[in-house]
Amino acid sequence: MNPLVPIAAASRGQITARDLLGYVPAQVLGAFLGTLCANAMFAEPLLAWSTHVRTGLSHALSEVVATFGLLTVITGCWRQRSDMGALVVGAYVTAAIWFTASTAFANPG
Protein backbone atom coordinates (compact mmCIF):
# COMPACT_ATOMS: atom_id res chain seq x y z
CA MET A 1 0.00 0.00 0.00
CA ASN A 2 3.01 2.26 -0.26
CA PRO A 3 2.25 4.79 -3.02
CA LEU A 4 5.86 4.62 -4.20
CA VAL A 5 5.38 1.01 -5.34
CA PRO A 6 2.82 1.71 -8.11
CA ILE A 7 4.75 4.89 -9.01
CA ALA A 8 7.85 2.74 -9.50
CA ALA A 9 5.79 0.28 -11.58
CA ALA A 10 4.51 3.13 -13.75
CA SER A 11 8.03 4.47 -14.23
CA ARG A 12 9.07 1.02 -15.52
CA GLY A 13 6.09 0.90 -17.91
CA GLN A 14 4.51 -1.99 -16.01
CA ILE A 15 1.28 -0.08 -15.42
CA THR A 16 -0.21 2.87 -17.27
CA ALA A 17 -0.59 6.37 -15.86
CA ARG A 18 -4.35 5.82 -15.98
CA ASP A 19 -4.02 2.66 -13.89
CA LEU A 20 -1.76 4.54 -11.48
CA LEU A 21 -4.54 7.07 -10.87
CA GLY A 22 -6.83 4.20 -9.92
CA TYR A 23 -4.37 2.74 -7.42
CA VAL A 24 -4.30 5.80 -5.16
CA PRO A 25 -8.01 5.86 -4.24
CA ALA A 26 -8.05 2.05 -4.07
CA GLN A 27 -5.14 2.10 -1.59
CA VAL A 28 -6.76 4.79 0.55
CA LEU A 29 -10.09 2.95 0.58
CA GLY A 30 -8.35 -0.36 1.34
CA ALA A 31 -6.42 1.18 4.24
CA PHE A 32 -9.59 2.72 5.64
CA LEU A 33 -11.62 -0.49 5.36
CA GLY A 34 -8.73 -2.55 6.74
CA THR A 35 -8.53 -0.28 9.77
CA LEU A 36 -12.24 -0.62 10.40
CA CYS A 37 -12.03 -4.39 10.08
CA ALA A 38 -9.00 -4.72 12.39
CA ASN A 39 -10.60 -2.49 15.02
CA ALA A 40 -13.81 -4.52 14.85
CA MET A 41 -11.90 -7.81 15.24
CA PHE A 42 -10.26 -6.54 18.42
CA ALA A 43 -13.48 -4.99 19.80
CA GLU A 44 -12.02 -1.49 19.59
CA PRO A 45 -13.93 1.61 18.54
CA LEU A 46 -14.11 1.55 14.75
CA LEU A 47 -12.62 5.04 14.51
CA ALA A 48 -10.31 6.63 17.07
CA TRP A 49 -7.51 9.17 17.10
CA SER A 50 -4.05 7.70 17.46
CA THR A 51 -2.29 8.45 20.73
CA HIS A 52 1.10 7.18 19.51
CA VAL A 53 3.39 9.97 18.36
CA ARG A 54 5.09 9.21 15.05
CA THR A 55 7.31 12.22 14.52
CA GLY A 56 10.97 13.06 14.61
CA LEU A 57 14.01 12.63 12.42
CA SER A 58 14.75 9.08 13.61
CA HIS A 59 11.26 7.87 12.71
CA ALA A 60 11.35 9.61 9.33
CA LEU A 61 14.78 8.11 8.59
CA SER A 62 13.60 4.62 9.50
CA GLU A 63 10.63 5.00 7.13
CA VAL A 64 12.96 6.12 4.33
CA VAL A 65 15.28 3.15 4.97
CA ALA A 66 12.34 0.71 5.10
CA THR A 67 10.79 2.14 1.91
CA PHE A 68 14.14 2.13 0.07
CA GLY A 69 14.61 -1.52 1.04
CA LEU A 70 11.09 -2.38 -0.06
CA LEU A 71 11.59 -0.80 -3.48
CA THR A 72 14.95 -2.58 -3.80
CA VAL A 73 13.37 -5.96 -3.00
CA ILE A 74 10.51 -5.36 -5.44
CA THR A 75 12.89 -4.23 -8.19
CA GLY A 76 15.00 -7.34 -7.62
CA CYS A 77 11.92 -9.54 -7.97
CA TRP A 78 10.93 -7.72 -11.17
CA ARG A 79 14.39 -8.21 -12.66
CA GLN A 80 14.50 -11.89 -11.75
CA ARG A 81 10.88 -12.44 -12.85
CA SER A 82 10.42 -14.09 -9.48
CA ASP A 83 7.14 -15.81 -8.72
CA MET A 84 8.09 -15.47 -5.05
CA GLY A 85 7.49 -11.70 -5.03
CA ALA A 86 4.56 -11.73 -2.62
CA LEU A 87 6.42 -13.94 -0.13
CA VAL A 88 9.65 -11.93 -0.39
CA VAL A 89 7.86 -8.58 0.03
CA GLY A 90 5.90 -9.86 3.02
CA ALA A 91 9.07 -11.18 4.63
CA TYR A 92 10.90 -7.91 3.98
CA VAL A 93 8.13 -5.74 5.46
CA THR A 94 8.07 -7.99 8.54
CA ALA A 95 11.84 -7.65 8.90
CA ALA A 96 11.67 -3.88 8.40
CA ILE A 97 9.12 -3.60 11.21
CA TRP A 98 11.22 -5.75 13.55
CA PHE A 99 14.67 -4.37 12.76
CA THR A 100 14.11 -0.66 12.19
CA ALA A 101 12.27 2.00 14.15
CA SER A 102 9.77 1.91 11.28
CA THR A 103 6.26 0.86 12.18
CA ALA A 104 5.60 0.35 8.47
CA PHE A 105 3.54 3.50 8.55
CA ALA A 106 4.07 3.86 4.80
CA ASN A 107 3.89 0.09 4.17
CA PRO A 108 1.01 -1.13 6.28
CA GLY A 109 0.19 -4.30 4.67
Domain coverage including residue 20: 1-49
Residues 1, 100: Cα–Cα separation, whole Å: 19
Taking the CB of residue 41, how many other CB atoms lie within 10 A of it?
A: 8
For 53-62, the pLDDT digits (tens) are 777 888 888 8
Name the percent of the chain lying above pLDDT 90.
18
Confidence of residue 109 (pLDDT cuts 50, 70, 90): very low
For residues 57 and 107, membership in a common domain is answered with yes
Residues 74, 91: Cα–Cα separation, whole Å: 12
Confidence of residue 79 (pLDDT cuts 50, 70, 90): confident
For residues 11 and 44, membership in a common domain is answered with yes
Of 16, 34, 49, the position where a domain reaches its end is 49
Residue 44's alpha-carbon distances to 22, 49, 61, 81, 103, in angstroms, are: 30, 12, 31, 41, 20
pTM: 0.68
Domains in the chain, number: 2
Give me the mean pLDDT over the 59-71 stretch. 86
For residues 41 and 81, membership in a common domain is answered with no
For residues 42 and 63, membership in a common domain is answered with no
Taking the CB of residue 73, how many other CB atoms lie within 10 A of it?
A: 19
Of 49, 66, 82, the position where a domain reaches its end is 49
